[in-house]
Structure 1
């Protein structure tokens, strides 16, 4: 038994399973933050940097993956986690 591989597998599984179960919570976070900040600026909050409001209105969030992409990455993570667990147990 290799404790490092078992620990790595458990960690990867713990991080990947929420991406499969609730990808929409990860997907909407960047969009939610953008919309919240845009609303604050429209209500008179000062800009943190030059033309912040124009940038938020003109461009999508920098990292805005779809729920499908997040779920696919979660499945990849689960696969890697299970493989790490099996390799750790078999040694």
Structure 2
């Protein structure tokens, strides 16, 4: 077994470890940015100082930068699952 084979197997296992949760529970990844924004808005309304100019206005006006749908996350998970499986297969 060469070094390349070990790297392919390690890549495949890593890809599977990341892809399977994205397929099973995408809502945990999807809602994280929304939860962070809402929590920060509550902190600012409770009196916490803004970290930059007009942070509150930006949080209220714009959606989170990374806010993919569950379908998109599942699609990325399936692609990762395929790539991970192929990497393990090629590594063996």
Shorter-chain TM-score: which interval?
over 0.9
User: What's 2:27 paired with?
Assistant: 24
Using the size of structure 1 for normalisation, the TM-score is 0.93
Superposed CA offset, 1:21-73 (max 9, x none): 11000000000000010111111111111000000000000111111111110
Which ranges in structure 2 are unaligned for 5 or more consecutive residues? none
Q: 39, 45, 49: which is aligned to 2:48? A: 45
What is the aligned length? 89
| 4+ residue segments displaced more than 3 Å | none
* 1:85 equivalent in alignment to 2:88: yes
Q: How far apart in 1 are the matches of 2:9 and 2:46?
A: 51
* 1:68 equivalent in alignment to 2:71: yes
